[in-house]
């Protein structure tokens, strides 16, 4: 992918004492890399396919040796931070939705960094939420955020990420959550049928099994089976494209079910965290649905919590439209780590 930069106000641009920093956002499908050459100035962005590299180290080394980095005139990078779609509970990281596994310390030594921070990708994305401008998010439905209250975060892509920000006297604390793996809970007879179909393939049906790219394909198969309809072998991208183009009523039914299910789970997060500041929706799927998501049953389902309907009606829901928000969050985490060294 052609190199890009994230524009920031000139007042933020001063040279880092420790030199440029590497930032990375690693998902199950794509590995995104960038350089932060000064506070708030993120450039030389490259997106590499995870499947094209045997290890994360190989992808990282390829990026550092790429023409993009050379053209930026950057050498001798000593500090970096990686957001990854996986739990990070110790030195060893084994990805859930890809085959990469690595030791953080071994990777640090291999690329010759002084500091390498690795955090969950949705922890990093959560850290970016207070920095998002009005043009980097799109509100769906009503409600207004209450200042100084928790924020919730959910995002469907290769998997389902969940996090949140909790306010404190010294700022925000990002949650180290794996909430995408909670048990899926159906909200109507159709979703019961989807769950029963999914049980044929999985002993435990988590929210992620359905709220993901593979989940869209699973919902498609389940609804075809439920309606006694022929099912083609379609990818999630094919299903979404046909639905958005109005070419397939079954595909549109799949997208509608996906949006409604996501509304239920987002509402669960809101009441669990007391996220009166709002719920933010990231990931690779929802932002691409555009207006179709706006007119889906997402918001109605989000508010459908019986006696807590009015409570949720006051909570805003936002789709994150910023292209690379995780870089902003992982940059803040790295800055905090370096400041404490």
The dihedral through the CA atoms of 304, 253, 208, 104 has a sign that is negative
SS (H, E, C) 176-189: CCCHHHCECCCCCH
Phi and psi angles of residue 124, each rounded to the nearest 5 degrees, phi first: -65, -45
DSSP character for 180?
Answer: G
188, 256 Cβ separation under 8 angstroms: no
Beta bridge partners of 165: 151, 174
- Smallest CA-to-CA distance from 63 within 106, 98, 32, 108 is with 32
Q: Is 24 labeled as ligand-binding?
A: yes
* 245 three-state secondary structure: helix
Q: Is 29 labeled as ligand-binding?
A: yes
Q: How many CA atoms lie within 13 A of 24 on its CB side?
A: 24
CA 48 → CA 20, 110, 140, 214, 292, distances in Å?
A: 20, 19, 31, 21, 29
- Smallest CA-to-CA distance from 259 within 294, 310, 229 is with 294
Q: Is 26 labeled as ligand-binding?
A: yes
Helical pair 213-226 and 249-273, crossing angle rounded to 10 deg:
120
Q: Is 28 labeled as ligand-binding?
A: yes
Query: Which residue shows structure tokens 């998902």?
Result: 27
Q: Binding-site residues for ATP, please?
A: 24-29
Annotated binding site: 24-29
């Amino acid at each position: 992918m052609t190199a890009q930069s994230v524009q920031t106000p000139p007042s933020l641009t001063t040279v880092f004492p420790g030199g440029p920093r590497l930032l990375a956002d690693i998902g199950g499908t794509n590995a995104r890399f960038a350089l932060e050459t000064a506070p708030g100035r993120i450039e030389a962005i490259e997106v590499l396919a995870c499947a094209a590299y045997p290890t994360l180290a190989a992808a990282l080394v390829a990026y550092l040796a790429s023409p993009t980095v050379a053209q930026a005139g950057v050498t001798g990078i000593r500090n970096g931070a990686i957001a990854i779609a996986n739990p990070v509970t110790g030195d060893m990281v084994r990805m859930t939705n890809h085959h990469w596994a690595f030791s953080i310390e071994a990777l640090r030594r291999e690329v010759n960094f002084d500091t390498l921070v690795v955090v969950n990708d949705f922890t990093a994305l959560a850290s970016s939420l207070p920095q998002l401008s009005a043009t980097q998010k799109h509100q769906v439905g009503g409600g207004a955020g209450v200042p100084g209250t928790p924020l919730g975060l959910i995002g469907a892509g290769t998997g389902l990420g969940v996090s949140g920000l909790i306010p404190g006297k010294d700022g925000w604390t990002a949650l180290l959550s794996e909430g995408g793996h909670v048990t899926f809970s159906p909200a109507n007879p159709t979703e019961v049928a989807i769950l029963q179909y999914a049980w044929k393939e999985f002993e435990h049906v988590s929210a992620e099994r359905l709220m993901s790219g593979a989940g869209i394909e699973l919902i498609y198969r389940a609804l075809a089976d439920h309606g006694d309809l022929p099912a083609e072998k379609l990818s999630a991208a094919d299903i979404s494209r046909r639905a958005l183009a109005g070419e397939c009523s079954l595909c549109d039914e799949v997208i509608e079910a996906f949006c409604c299910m996501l509304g239920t789970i987002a509402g669960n997060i809101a009441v669990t965290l007391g996220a009166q500041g709002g719920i933010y929706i990231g990931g690779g799927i929802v932002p691409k649905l555009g207006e179709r998501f706006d007119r889906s049953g997402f918001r109605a389902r989000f508010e459908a919590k019986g006696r807590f309907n009015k409570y949720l009606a006051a909570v805003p829901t936002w789709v994150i439209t910023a292209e690379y928000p995780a870089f902003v969050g992982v940059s803040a985490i790295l800055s905090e780590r370096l400041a404490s060294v």
